[in-house]
Amino acid sequence: MNSSEKLGQAWQHHQAGQFHRAEHLYQQVLSSEPEHPDALHMLGILAHQTGHSEPGIELVKRALRNRPDDARIHANLAMMLEASGRLERAIEHNRKALALMPEHTGAWLNLANQLRATGEIDEAIASYRALLSQNPDDVAGWSNLGSALRSNGELDQAIEAFERALTLSPDSADVHSNLGNALQEADRHDDAIKAFRKAIALRPDFADAHANLGIAHLQTGRTDEAISALDACLQLEPANRTALAMKTIALCEADNAEAAQALTDLDVGIRETVVDSARGFESSASFNRALAEHACNHPSIRYEPFSKTTRRGRQTGNLLEGTRGPVARLEQIINDAVRAYLDDMPFPPDHPYRGRQVKNWSLNVWATVLDDQGHQAPHIHPGGWLSGVYYVSLPKGMHDNDNAGAIEFGCVPDGFTLATPPRTRLLTPKEGSLLVFPSFFYHRTLPFKSGQPRISIAFDAIPVE
């Protein structure tokens, strides 16, 4: 067989999931033609699919060096880079793919999703529309356009986009749930409830739809129905962070403060320790200065990044990607604190967090640099298990004004009007201190007045099976 025939046969094996046979034939081609772009390209994709992402990326880059004007190679490299967290590079290669092949609808969809993930919402919306102008029956395009429009506050257009997706795919539980979220934000609560119920009818084990239904009931004063829907979610996912947070609020509204306290115990659930962080540094102060400089100059830092809760301040992406610098030491400190928390879980035996033994986790770590009047809006971390924050640098005199700059736990989301709000707990930040708490604890920070920034580094510990 010549190289072309070998590649054709290899691709057949590849598509059939016979990866070893495919790899053997790709390698045969490369043994005689080491820079064959198609063999490099397909072997790189295979490597990525089998869990060898970095070698796969390097192979596809080699293919691209040999054939720089191939839109397909650019598009596939973009997908691989996105999967490895390098969104900016992924965007760059998708743009190149589309410059070479404007009709590449897959590249338009991926580019739009990547732009949305990096907060470039207006450009993401334009990219979704470019895709849909070529393929108006693309369900994912309409659904993702709806999500982008919703994020941008364009609720009427978002609802129209979701409804268009449902005309094409009326049995999509995900789209019904997304439509419900948009209707909820548009204060069309009864319509939102219908959409969530439709999603659940299509997929009874759709935990997030049950949680969203509970939120919709809670916002319309139907407390019993809210608790019932949230319990349905927790039957499916006993530690669903959104459901745990919202059930705490619903129990308070139902005048059951004791049950709410048992679920979200702010007195024992928040751990605060002063970190001995000087190892490898002259002092704790020099460690904090290094962290502050690293955070403020990080290439991913953005002012009020889209879809985040930072107000009047900047926030980075994951500090564990790229050059870590002093964050490598902080990573060790955080991992030690997470392990200590998990080894001495502060909840009673029947608490949902006791039902899952988290032995391994990955970290997402980011910095927040708040300016004068900066703060964090109320939020939880639904993707995490444990979350926390390390205080790097605090403005002088910040604490002179009551609770300025403090962190408050137990608050409720913006837009909620409750007869019986949950109890809250305020903590005063201290430089060099580390807080660890369950990711379902609602929290916010209070504004402060200062010409100096308030710098902290937060994290999520995400369970890994």
Question: What value, to the nearest 5°, has the Cα angle with vertex 412 and ends 407 and 418?
Answer: 140
On the question of pLDDT at 327 being above 70, the answer is: yes
Q: What is the pLDDT of residue 389?
A: 98
What are the extents of the domains in the chain?
Answer: 3-260, 270-463
d(CA 71, CA 107): 9
Going from the C-alpha of 113 to that of each of 27, 85, 86, 107, 291, the distances in angstroms are: 34, 13, 13, 10, 31
On the question of pLDDT at 66 being above 90, the answer is: yes
Task: Provide mean pLDDT across the span 186-192.
Answer: 95
Q: What is the pLDDT of residue 322?
A: 82
d(CA 44, CA 302): 33
In 307-430, where does DSSP find H-type helix?
Answer: 327-343
Using one digit for the tens of pLDDT, what is the confidence trace for 13-28?
999 999 999 999 999 9
- Model confidence at 400, in pLDDT bands (50, 70, 90)? low
Q: What is the pLDDT of residue 307?
A: 72
Q: For residue 99, give every residue at least 6 positions away whose Cβ sits within 8 Å of its Cβ, in sequence order, or none.
A: none
Facing residues of 425 across strands?
A: 409
Q: Considering only the top CATH level, what class is 3-260?
A: mainly alpha
Contact 118, 91 (CB under 8 A): yes
Q: What is the pLDDT of residue 415?
A: 81
Q: What is the pLDDT of residue 403?
A: 85
Contact 269, 346 (CB under 8 A): yes
d(CA 357, CA 376): 30
On the question of pLDDT at 424 being above 80, the answer is: yes
Q: What is the pLDDT of residue 361?
A: 97
Using one digit for the tens of pLDDT, what is the confidence trace for 335-357?
999 999 999 999 999 999 998 88
- What whole-number percentage of the chain has pLDDT above 90? 83
Question: Which phi-psi region, left, alpha or beta, contains residue 347 (left: φ > 0; alpha: ψ -120 to 50)?
Answer: beta
Q: For residue 178, give every residue at least 6 positions away whose Cβ sits within 8 Å of its Cβ, in sequence order, or none.
A: 143, 146, 147, 150, 162
Tell me if residue 320 falls in helix, strand or coil: coil
- Model confidence at 277, in pLDDT bands (50, 70, 90)? low
- Model confidence at 271, in pLDDT bands (50, 70, 90)? very high
Q: What is the pLDDT of residue 86?
A: 86
Task: Provide mean pLDDT across the span 155-163.
Answer: 98
Mean pLDDT rounded to a whole number for the chain: 94
**Domain 270-463 coded CATH 2.60.200.20:** no
Using one digit for the tens of pLDDT, what is the confidence trace for 203-219?
999 999 999 999 999 99
Contact 279, 329 (CB under 8 A): yes
Task: Provide mean pLDDT across the span 417-434.
Answer: 91
Q: For residue 41, give every residue at least 6 positions away whose Cβ sits within 8 Å of its Cβ, in sequence order, or none.
A: 59, 60, 63, 70, 72, 73, 76
pTM: predicted TM-score of the whole model, two decimal places: 0.87
- Strands (E) in 214-336, as ranges, are 271-274, 302-303, 310-315
Q: What is the pLDDT of residue 93?
A: 96
Q: What is the pLDDT of residue 416?
A: 84
